[in-house]
Amino acid sequence: MFRFKYGAARAGALAAVLGTGGAALAQDPAVPMTLPVPVSTAPAVPDAPPGPPGAQPAQPGAPAAAEPAPPACTTCESVFDWKKVPRVRPTPRAGFFPVPPTGPGYYSALDLLRGQALEAPPKYPYPRTSAILPSFFDVDNFAYLDDPKNTEHDFFDPLKRVHLGDNWLFTTGGEFRTRYENGYNDRLTKTDNVYQLTRTRVYADLWYRDDFRVFAEYIGAWSAYQDLAPLPIDQQKSGIQNLFADVKIADLGGDPVYVRGGRQELLFGSQRLVSTLDWANTRRTFQGVRGFRQTEKWDFDVFWVQPVVPNTNRPAAAADANKFDSVDYHQNFVGAWGTYRPKKGQVVDLYYLMLDDTNTYSVLGLPRGNFTRHTTGGRYAGNEGNFLFDTEAALQFGSQNGRDVFAAMATHGVGYNFKDTTWSPTVWAYYDYASGGNPTNGSGTDHTFNQLFPFGHYYMGWIDAVGRQNIHDLNFHLYLYPTKWLTAWVQYHNFWLADKKDALYNTAGNPIRYDPTGRSGSYVGQEVDYVFNFHLSKHADVLTGYCALYGGEFLKNTASKTNAVNSGLFFLQFSYKW
């Protein structure tokens, strides 16, 4: 029979929710509970129990006979130590990462309205932004609620860190998000697109000690009022985002080794190559097997998965939002990823990734799919005091459509955090490169880098017209914190094609403009993005911004009656996490 165990504060919250005597349960844990003590009527010195027949009575002053030892407990449960379960996987720092301010202050607009300044950032584990880059299963499982000295509480606490007996742990939560978008010349067409995107996610997480875990997550995503056909990533009326089991297969030096099987999100390193793609209304997910081990300094992952695509096994086919997403059995994604943390704030990644795709289709006359790509690379990023740095490079080889592949990508950024200055500004300067050179230009070798499964929206401009393929990008970033609950981010991009005879590829990796002669030039244009995040409470955020792409000679020369040169986007998003 399960026994529910709560701290006093959580028990009071649960009682208030259920209406079952919350006042008694919510007694201050610092004040001991007093109970009436019955008055004993027994004599002060009890009579000695009678001995066996023929036994001599005990003499005054004689030592008492030793009592027999009680029988061994055969029904006692062992109590498991939950302090380090689940283990928290640190969310990797993305490129041009911000450095939010710390110290005393108001960390949400609600704190300000209440006049409740905090001495340090709250323990609540969800990010203090609208975007949720990590997976829910990698977020800290509210471990602070088990601390008897904890003073941070919330009305959702009864849904978190629920102990079922001594050996089981259950947590649930989720997110609601809705976004209004107003796109001028959306997708570089001559169509303005005004629409609404809404999604809901709900998850359940169950552990048996640190030996076994089952995690399930539902997602529903809806699109309304679009003037263009919705993208495959815009809607999925009912879907399974995550459904997997973890089994501990070994314990090496006190660090467990797990095997995970089922549907699961993947996120590694900078997310330039493997990301959950949180900006999309439907997050990216896979299905397969993953093995992993995490220590204080090292993480190591190996996996074999297949992408889950919107309701089809061909990435070029149209999606039906009324059906469940399905596995693309024509793609296999295999990899090994190692992470080393030499010191606090710094990370080294080394990785090998292989994507095999037997789908065959073409876009703008360029053959897509039908390839095997091997990607090997590494990254070193972090900070040394106020100085910030991020360097990553990768080589890619294999074959595509019967031709050899040799391609590369590289990025390097430096930044500085003025933490003792008003508004805590952080500045970054970056150069991003991804090779180009389609085999139709006569070289015989495909030099166009394949960006795999990236978080392109974050990196290459929020208009989503440019991807990490056949591109040079010189970009600059500024973060400001007028208050601890308001983040202001400005980014500026300058884009050139790496090979003017190759196409411009968007964030989905699809060619959108192409001049095989190269006479249209290579300068794509400039983009400026203004993004603001208002952290209203530990649960609620508002994200808004305006983005503008000003086309250069390449976009002007490849424009047509239906294709635009410039593009703009205004968005307003509300999110609520629990």
pLDDT of residue 180: 98
Residue 206 lies in a domain: no
How big is the chain by its Cα radius of gyration, in Å? 29
CB atoms under 10 Å from CB of 226, counted, come to 19
Which of 342, 331, 345 lies closest to 373 in space, CA to CA?
A: 331
pLDDT of residue 16: 39
Cα torsion for 14, 18, 23, 25, to the nearest 10°?
Answer: -40
pLDDT of residue 89: 87
CB atoms under 10 Å from CB of 288, counted, come to 21
pLDDT of residue 365: 84
Residue 519 lies in a domain: yes
Residue 486 lies in a domain: yes
Residue span of the structural domain in which 423 resides? 109-201+214-242+256-577
Question: What is the DSSP annotation of 222-272?
Answer: EEES-SSPPPTTT-EEEEEEEEEEEEEEEEETTEEEEEEEEEE----TTSS
3-state secondary structure of 217: strand
CATH number of the domain within which 385 lies:
2.40.160.100
Residue 422 lies in a domain: yes
Residue 546 lies in a domain: yes
pLDDT of residue 315: 44
Strands annotated E in 154-211: 162-164, 168-184, 193-208
Residue 207 lies in a domain: no
Please tell me the distance from the alpha carbon of residue 488 to that of residue 531, in angstroms, as a whole number: 6
pLDDT of residue 172: 97
pLDDT of residue 528: 98
Supply the pTM of this predicted model: 0.84
Strands annotated E in 439-563: 445-446, 471-483, 486-496, 504-505, 511-513, 523-535, 540-551
Residue 149 lies in a domain: yes
Please tell me the distance from the alpha carbon of residue 463 to that of residue 512, in angstroms, as a whole number: 13
Measured in degrees and rounded to the nearest 5, phi and psi for residue 70 equal: -65, 150
Cα torsion for 239, 129, 387, 345, to the nearest 10°?
Answer: -60
Please tell me the distance from the alpha carbon of residue 299 to that of residue 261, in angstroms, as a whole number: 18
3-state secondary structure of 439: helix
- On whether the CB atoms of residues 436 and 450 are closer than 8 A, the answer is no
Provide the residue-wise pLDDT of the chain in tens; the chain has 578 residues.
344 444 444 444 433 333 433 333 333 433 343 334 444 444 444 444 444 444 444 444 445 555 555 554 444 455 798 988 988 888 899 999 999 999 999 999 999 999 999 999 999 999 999 988 899 999 988 999 999 999 999 999 999 999 999 999 999 999 999 999 999 999 999 999 999 999 999 999 999 999 999 999 999 999 999 999 999 899 987 789 999 999 999 999 889 999 999 999 999 999 999 999 999 999 999 999 999 999 999 999 999 999 998 763 344 444 454 566 789 999 999 999 999 999 999 999 999 999 999 998 888 888 888 999 999 999 999 999 999 999 999 999 999 988 999 999 999 999 999 999 999 999 999 999 999 997 665 568 999 999 999 999 999 999 999 999 999 999 999 999 999 999 999 999 999 999 999 999 999 999 999 999 999 999 999 999 999 999 999 999 999 999 999 999 999 999 999 999 999 999 999 999 99
Residue whose structure tokens are 């590494």: 378
pLDDT of residue 133: 82
Distance separating the N- and C-terminal Cα atoms of the chain: 29
Number of domains observed in the structure of the chain: 1
pLDDT of residue 440: 65
Residue 432 lies in a domain: yes
pLDDT of residue 79: 79
